[in-house]
A and B are shown apart, each in its own frame.
Chain A
Amino acid sequence: MGNIDPAVHVWTQKYNMSTAPISIDRYVSAEYFRLEQERVFKKSWLLLGREEEIAKPGDFFVHDVEVAGTSILITRDQQGQIRAFHNICRHRANKVSFEACGHAEGFVCPFHGWTYGLDGRLAYVPDENDFFGLDRSKLGLVPVHVALWEGFIFVNLDRQPATDLGGYLGEIKDMYDGYFSTLQLISRHSWEMNTNWKLFMDVSVEGYHGSYVHRDSIADQFCEADNPNLNLPSIRLYGTHRTVSIPADLSRIPKPFEGLSYKYGSGSSYTPTKELNVSDGLPPGINPDRVGSWAFDILSLMPNMIFLTGRGVCVMIGSWPLGVDRTRIDSRIYLNPPQTAAQRVCAEYTATMLRDVIREDVDTLEPVQRALRSGAMSEMQMSDQEIACRHFHQVLDRMIGTADPTPDLAREAAHAG
């Protein structure tokens, strides 16, 4: 813990965090990845979608969870209850649904026609008498623990989850009350890249890259004259999860197309102006420290979700491992639903901006992964401003069981402060 200057390293001081470099093994080691699979992704609550994706009884979607070696089928049954199952036929293990989403009375395995209800019950087996003492009541789809938070559907693949979803969410559980329910999905971007999944988690919770990676696009919206390195005005490290707030330069004069968007838009704070920089009425998780010059926040939810939460706009991004150096990103943009042409045009401003900015964010990651694999470096340096990255790795180590036995230092320090 040497070299800490309380006047400079305010966050490290506040949260009593380590200053040690981060080992590179965790991005390239097959053994570390195996531990992540077994101890993190097969044990954690994983966010797979939103309630409104399966609004009516019979609606379903499938989410492949390659990192846990399975595919999950989420249904809304005839009673309106949301259920989750391994998408695996109990006969000879074919996928029951090859459709990504849809509406169905039930599911017929395309291999031999075994048929399941929306509640997972095995309803019909062709030529059933040819089997030997088959008990259909014991051969329903294998259920998975499922729980809801603010309209999001989470599953836990563990047979006996260590905590319920509320316990897993911890302090943030009650901080977003109603925030997401007013927003509507307007765009999805997805892509695969040859990187470890954690590189995306890292780049998503620091502002330090902003004035470089985004120098041609959006840096000037956020970097005030007295904050050229985009230092973060709020960093909150919770027991398991974390948030940071991104500042806004409210003195900046909008460009013509931005002005049009602000004039007719629905008050998105990714496009901050003095008039739109309002936190009133937002739940406590949004701009949690009520920063005056505020643009938006980033919530990093273990293990693999990133939310960019602003006024009237939210991006939800999942970083899904496909292998130690292969990742699928699923990015969804939610906005206040556009009701008029003007609002629709403004939604386009946000969607096209985010698309370009996310492309800039991830452009660094494949070259970084190749460099990490080269063996030229064994560790990475992380600054006080990158403390949320450090916290992510600390919690991950704790989940895997390789951390030192003082897992709640950060939380205790924060509460004491």
Chain B
Amino acid sequence: MTQHFPAAFQDLEAFAGWALGSRDARYKRRLGSTMGAIRAFYDAVRPRMEAIIAYLNPRPLEALAEEERRLLWLALAWMDASRAVEVLGAPDVRYGFAADRFTIRDLAPL
């Protein structure tokens, strides 16, 4: 089986589908998921976020290995999914301009 994340985070392999490399893709994942799926992802990663940050933080962002980069993407997706769980109580805002009419260009380092 392919290992997506560093060895210390193999418990999160089941959620590798969230480790997407653009904010737009992560957003579409959130919007296209049921609340149950979002919550399962949120619950699994929440107790691991401090460990993920502690693991990645000493490493230069521009020099992350492939599995480290995917772990960062997973953490970024968790921030997006948390909004659905902790704030909205739904995959999307209740009254929002159509998400698919937005063009999102992600310019932050990945």
Q: Which residues of A pack against B, CB within 8 Å?
A: 185-193, 213, 216-218, 255-258, 260-261, 264, 335, 338-342, 344-345, 347-349, 351-353, 355-356, 358-360, 362-363, 365-366
Q: Which residues of B contact A188 (CB under 8 A)?
A: 103-105, 107
Q: Which residues of B pack against A, CB within 8 Å?
A: 23, 27, 46, 49-50, 52-53, 56-57, 59, 61, 72, 75-76, 78-80, 82-83, 86-89, 93-97, 99, 101-110
Chain B contact surface mostly: helix
Instruction: Name B99's closest neighbour in chain A (CB-CB).
Output: A359
The residue that B105 contacts in the complex, of A187, A193, A218, with Cβ under 8 A, is A187
Q: Whole-angstrom distance between the alpha carbons of A189 and B61 in the complex?
A: 23
Q: Whole-angstrom distance between the alpha carbons of A116 and B42 in the complex?
A: 55
B103 touches A191 (CB 8 A): yes
Q: Which residues of B contact A187 (CB under 8 A)?
A: 23, 104-108
Q: Which residues of B contact A217 (CB under 8 A)?
A: 87-88, 93
Q: Whole-angstrom distance between the alpha carbons of A260 and B76 in the complex?
A: 12
Q: Whole-angstrom distance between the alpha carbons of A193 and B101 in the complex?
A: 9
B83 touches A190 (CB 8 A): no
Q: Whole-angstrom distance between the alpha carbons of A353 and B82 in the complex?
A: 11
List 20 contacting pairs A-B, 8 Å CB cutoff, sorted by A.
A188-B104, A188-B107, A189-B104, A189-B105, A191-B103, A216-B89, A255-B82, A255-B87, A257-B78, A258-B86, A335-B108, A340-B57, A341-B56, A341-B75, A344-B110, A345-B53, A345-B75, A348-B80, A356-B96, A359-B99
A341 touches B108 (CB 8 A): no
Tell me the number of A-to-B contacts counted with CB atoms below 8 Å.
Answer: 128
B83 to chain A, nearest CB (A): 6
Instruction: Name B64's closest neighbour in chain A (CB-CB).
Output: A341
A345 touches B107 (CB 8 A): no
A363 touches B97 (CB 8 A): yes
B23 touches A359 (CB 8 A): no
Q: Whole-angstrom distance between the alpha carbons of A359 and B103 in the complex?
A: 12
